[in-house]
Structures are given as C-alpha cells and as structure tokens.
Amino acid sequence: MSQSPNPAAPQQVALLLASAAELLRAGRPADAIAPLRDAALLEPANPIIQHDLGLACLEVGCLPDAIEAFQRATGSDPRYTDAYFRLGIALEKLGDIGGAIVAYDRATELSPSLTEAWFRAGALVYTLGHRDEAIGCFRRAAATGSTTSFGRLGKARALLIENRNQEAEKVLRHTLALDSTNAMAHDLLGNLLSEFGRFDEARECFERAITLAPLLAGSYYDLVRCRAVTTDDDGLLQQMEAALATPGLEAAQRLRVHLAIGKAAEDLGDYALAMQHFDAADDVRRSFGSFDSSAFSTEIDRLIARCTPEWIARAPELGSSDAKPVLIIGMPRSGTTLVEQIVSMHPEVGAGDELNFWNQRGAAWHGSGGVGNERSFLAQAAADYLGVLRSIAPKAARVTDKMPFNFLWAGLIHMAFPRATIIHCRRAAADTALSIHQTHFHPSLPFPTGGAELVAYFRSYQRLVDHWRSVLPADRFIEVDYEDLTREPEPVIRRIIAACGLTWHDACLRPECNTRAVKTPSKWQARQPIYQTSVARWRRYKPWLGPLRELVD
C-alpha cells in the first residue's frame, strides 16, 4: 500500500528554507544545516535543497556531509554545474584529488566559461605532474576570464610552468596593481621571487598573503625558508602557533604551518619543540592516507627480478645512443639539488629540474609486466623523453633531470639511454630521513615522511640501489656522497663533470652563482656557498628520533 503524499510538506519545506535563508544571511551556516537537512529529508530529490545543504556543510568544514549532499544534487540533476563545481572544492579539501578533478571536468564540460573550475583543475593536475594538461587548464582559465582574478592567475601559472618567469612576474604585478588585496597573487609572486633568490621581497609577499587571507597560513612554510629565523624575528614563532587555531584552516595548510614552526624552532636552537611540530605535521599527513610498506617492498622485489644482468646487457642493442640525459637520483633531501646546481653551471648543460616523465612511463612499463614489444616501447620512450629535454634546452649537449624518485627506474632509463649519465646522490641515512621528516611533500606523493614507514621505505630503496650498483655499468651509474662533496668539493665536482662527458669548466665550483630558478624546498640553501653544517644534523635530535633512530649508522 503506497503512502499518500503529505499535503503539509510543501508548506513545511518553505518554512524550513526561509529559516535557513535567514540564518545564512546572518552568517550562521552551521545553524542553517539543521533546517536544510530537514527540508532535504522531506524533498530528497530536490537538487537545489541538496546543493544548499552541501554548501552550508562546506562552509563549516563538514566535508563528508557536503560531498554526500552535492552528490545527491548531481544525482537528481546531472546537469547541475554549480553542484559539480562545489563537489570538486569539497573533494579537493578532503584530499581526494582524482575525484576533485573529475568533478571540475564535469563542471567545465557543462559550463566551459567556468574560470575558477579551470584554474582549480589546472592546479591539481599540475601537482600530479601532468605539465601539459595543467598548462591547458590554466590557459582556458585565462581565456574564459581574462579580466578576472582567476583568469589572470591562470595566465601567470601557465607562464610559470613554461619557465617564462619575467612575463609571469609582469602578470602578477599587474594583477596586484588592479587588486592589492589578492592574497593568492602575493603568494605566487613570493614563490617566484624566492625561486630566483630574491628572498627579502619574497618574505614581504608571503607576509602580505597571510595577513590578507589567514587561511593561507601554510605560506609560513615558504616564508621561514627565505632565510634563517633569528631572535630578531620577534613574535614570528608565536604568530605561527596562533595560526594553527585559525577557524577553518585546512589540513594541508595546518601541515605546512607545523613544518614552518619546526624549522623556526630549529633555527632558534629549540630541537625538542622543532621535533614536536615535525611529528605533528607527519600525523596530519597520515590522516590523508597510509603508506603500505609491505606492498612497496614487493614492488621493489619485482623490479629487481625483472632487471636482470642479462637484460641490462642488452641496453646497447635496444636503447638510444644519445648521451643528452643526465639523471640525478636518490632519496629526496640527499643533495640532488646541489648536484644539479653544480652540473647546470656548465655552459653546455641545461637544467630540467624534477621531471615526472619516468614516473609515468616507468609505472606503465612496470604494470605491463613485459607484455608487448619492448624494443618499440623503449624507442618511443627515448624519442618522447628527448623531445621533453630539447624543449627545455634546445642547444644544450646535456640536460639534467633531478627527479629523486627516478631511483626506481634507473634500470629502465639505462635500457632506453645506455649512454646517459645516472648520478646517484647518497647522504647519511639518519640525516636524509630527518630532512624528509622536516619537509613538505605533496599529499598525492606515495611516500612516507616519518616513523617506521619511512625506515622501511629507506631499506627498500637501499636494496634497489644495491641492485643497480651491481648490474649497471660503473661509468654510467656514478655515486656521489653528500659528505664527501661538502667536505672537499673540487675533486668530487671534477669527477661528476668528467662522468657527464664534459670538458672542465671552473664555473661548476660556484653553484651558488647559478641564476636559474630553484623550485625545490632547497631554494635558500642552493644560493649559499657549499657548506658542511648539515652533516650529522641528526645528532641535535638524538633524544627525539623515535623510529628513525634505526637509520643511525
């Protein structure tokens, strides 16, 4: 027996919606959720009510409830553009990058002029390493909203990815001339200036961004990396600690604030406080998802089993004879930026920074299990990679790629380019792990930043590079110890340059004079003469190392 409709329901819904609207006008979205939820129960297929419920939940940070409401809205009306757009924002805040991109794509499919959705999608695909796709999204943002903030920021970001930095700076300064309160423009300009070593100007930009938009408190992470924090920075530590209490501060921003406080505390010599915040940052990161150390170890076993000495010996037969690539690999924070600064000071070398190419091709190759035409795969990969390198530095004899995680694909890279130089950067395990623990890595990276998981990851990495050492030619797999490089730079640098097949150039002894943009967390360190003060840093943290103590040699 079917239930008869409730004749009072429409009137009841109207009263509930009127109450919710009044609460929203009064700036009380948390109180508006209850009447909106009651209205949604009475009319569950009403997409507008579900959207408004989702929006109220989004405003107060109830992300799972917001996502559920937006999904109901789009389920009732598959062409509800605003619901898809705000679903993307909610998923992005929750850390579901893939889901957010799908939602933004659907929103722009329905409304191609939705500038902010193009911009947000571009920012997300860029974090996943999809450079060309990101440029496309940012250009669409610029084209659809050339007179809007997100349109101008989209233009700037496309230029930044293309390393057209002077043009990007002009766009950002023009944006700020039109609207000096644009916090995101201040933040982007600060990052650009810091990449080129203009740290005083960068600090001012970061300070302005945080003042204008307290929810951008994560910019403190970049601010404290413009130089060492001293006792003259009166109140900075307290400001950052207060920022953690900012209402609505997202987890990703909170993580960066903890890391910023930790860095400042270390500069000021309070290592207990520093480690407290580094550990807190790692706890936040774990909330985004766990790392499966056992599964990673299994994949390392598969790589080792596949890259046999017999297969590696076939590289001259299967690979390209081009010697252009110089791969700088190793664990993150092992000295890869310093080595790239050194090599790219040579006039015949172009700097490629961290390219995601082999992470993508390697994953495809690894997932295939050897199915298909291997010769064809290697030839195509080599041709595509050379295209990328030539686009970066068309006239260079060598081009660097300092993606640390290419340590996973050293065997495959050698098969594609048997004459390529692979430089493996090593640093004391405890120092490397501690530095990783203190550094921000995007949550999308499948990589642990602390605890037993980081120790296990490090052991798997060591096992794999031990294998590369045993199967790759010694003149193609060059190993550089950070401690040797910083203690006695010249002989190590001469060995690096010779291994790259380049004639000696004295400029390589002065990496701090390199004028290129440095996009890694080592922006400030890269502008300093080679120093030894980071050797055996772990000793300062000895009482608080926790599981990382296992990595002390």
Query: Model confidence over 9-43: pLDDT tens digits?
Result: 788 999 999 999 999 899 999 999 999 999 999 99
- Residue 163 has what pLDDT? 85
Residue 236 lies in a domain: no
Whether 156 is covered by a domain: the verdict is no
Judge whether 342 lies within some domain: yes
> What pTM did the predictor assign?
0.87
- Give the CATH number of the domain where residue 338 resides: 3.40.50.300
Q: Please give the pLDDT value at position 5.
A: 52
Are residues 40 and 53 in contact, defined by beta-carbon separation less than 8 angstroms? yes
Q: Which of 64, 95, 111 is the last residue of a domain?
A: 111
What local confidence, expressed as pLDDT, does residue 527 receive?
A: 86
Of 95, 111, 127, which marks where a domain is finished? 111
Distance CA 475, CA 421 (A): 8
Say how far apart CA 26 and CA 24 lie, in whole Å: 5
R_g over Cα of the chain: 26
493 CA to centre of own chain: 29
Residues 309 and 325: their CA atoms lie apart, in Å, by 22
Q: How far is residue 420's CA from residue 381's CA, in Å, rounded to a whole number? A: 14
Q: Please say if the pLDDT value at position 371 is more than 70.
A: no
**Residue 522: per-residue pLDDT:** 80
pLDDT for residue 372:
58
C-alpha 308/C-alpha 321 separation (Å) is 21
Confidence (pLDDT) at 2: 43
Identify the band that residue 444 occupies on the pLDDT scale cut at 50, 70 and 90.
Answer: low
- Would 210 be classed as within a structural domain? no
Residue 132 lies in a domain: no
**Position 6 confidence tier, pLDDT thresholds 50, 70, 90:** low
C-alpha closest to that of 297 among 442, 458, 434: 458
pLDDT category at 370 given cuts 50, 70, 90 is low
pLDDT tens sequence across 90-119: 999 887 889 999 999 999 999 999 999 999
Cβ atoms of residues 149 and 185 within 8 Å: yes
Q: What is the mean pLDDT of the segment spanning 140-161? A: 96
Question: DSSP letters of 413-474?
Answer: HHHH-TT-EEEEEE--HHHHHHHHHTS---TTS----SHHHHHHHHHHHHHHHHHHHHHS-T
Q: Which of 83, 111, 139 is the last residue of a domain?
A: 111
For residue 423 the two structure tokens come to 């430089």
- Does 537 map to a domain? yes
| Burial group, residue 137, by CB count within 10 angstroms (0-12, 13-18, 19+) | buried
| Domain region containing 396 | 294-551
Tell whether the model's pLDDT for residue 47 goes beyond 70: yes
- Is 320 part of a structural domain of the chain? yes
| 399 is a domain residue | yes
pLDDT at 7 over 80: no
What CATH number should be reported for the domain holding residue 45? Answer: 1.25.40.10
Count of structural domains within the chain: 2
Predicted pLDDT of residue 259: 97
